[in-house]
Amino acid sequence: EPEVTQTPSHQVTQMGQEVILRCVPISNHLYFYWYRQILGQKVEFLVSFYNNEISEKSEIFDDQFSVERPDGSNFTLKIRSTKLEDSAMYFCASKPTGFRNTEAFFGQGTRLTVV
Amino acid sequence: DAKTTQPPSMDCAEGRAANLPCNHSTISGNEYVYWYRQIHSQGPQYIIHGLKNNETNEMASLIITEDRKSSTLILPHATLRDTAVYYCIVRPEGGGADGLTFGKGTHLIIQP
């Protein structure tokens, strides 16, 4: 069964450093998403991406975040200057279409720890 | 999106049916009910969705009341691997790249 894959599974970084989280969505999917989940809290939507541009973003997705689909298969989330409060699980998801009544497929997540 | 209300936690014996309720009293006519689950910090996993008719797939059944103000997710023969947080989400039909809005869900614990 096709799946969304994320690397690395765990990333530790120092405060102020830049990190790039990587995702390979399912190959024929067109819509891509990043979510985050701070330990013990809800899963929160960050951003959606379609046709090489951001479609929607939440208020969490500020100027320190950026997304890119550099080569037609990878989908990356960059955090420019990490803060302690960026420590969380980051989930990538993809969907085949933009219709809301299609399921989203999630990856297993990257645990980001900022020290 | 309409707001949903779920109990914070439930227990169920292994092998029995797990019935997870969800209230969505402000649901609109064009809004679907979705269920996802999250097993211990893994990525959320889609289970099922429906509009007004009852739905069944290989994972679960979804029963939506006639007035659509509430629904029940049924796992017919719960196993220990079904221990997870279950999220009931209401979303309108149609196109849109907006993300899912997760609440706190119901933590279902399957007891051996």
The per-residue pLDDT for range B58-95, each reduced to its tens digit, is 999 999 999 999 999 999 999 999 999 999 999 887 76
Give per-residue pLDDT as tens, A31-56.
Answer: 999 999 999 999 999 999 999 999 99
Confirm or reject contact between A110 and chain B (CB < 8 A). Answer: no
Task: Name the nearest CA neighbour of B47 among B18, B26, B27, B9.
Answer: B18
First-to-last C-alpha distance (Å) of chain B: 37
Mean pLDDT of A67-80: 93
- Residue A5 pLDDT > 80: yes
Nearest to A98 by CA among A29, A43, A1: A29
Provide φ and ψ at B37, rounded to 5°. -135, 160
**How far apart, in whole angstroms, are the C-alpha atoms of residue A102 and residue A95?**
7
**B43: which chain A residues are within 8 Å (Cβ-Cβ)?**
4, 91, 93, 106-109
The per-residue pLDDT for B2 is 61
Q: B55 with B48: CB under 8 angstroms? A: yes
The answer to whether residue A25 neighbours chain B at the CB level (below 8 Å) is no
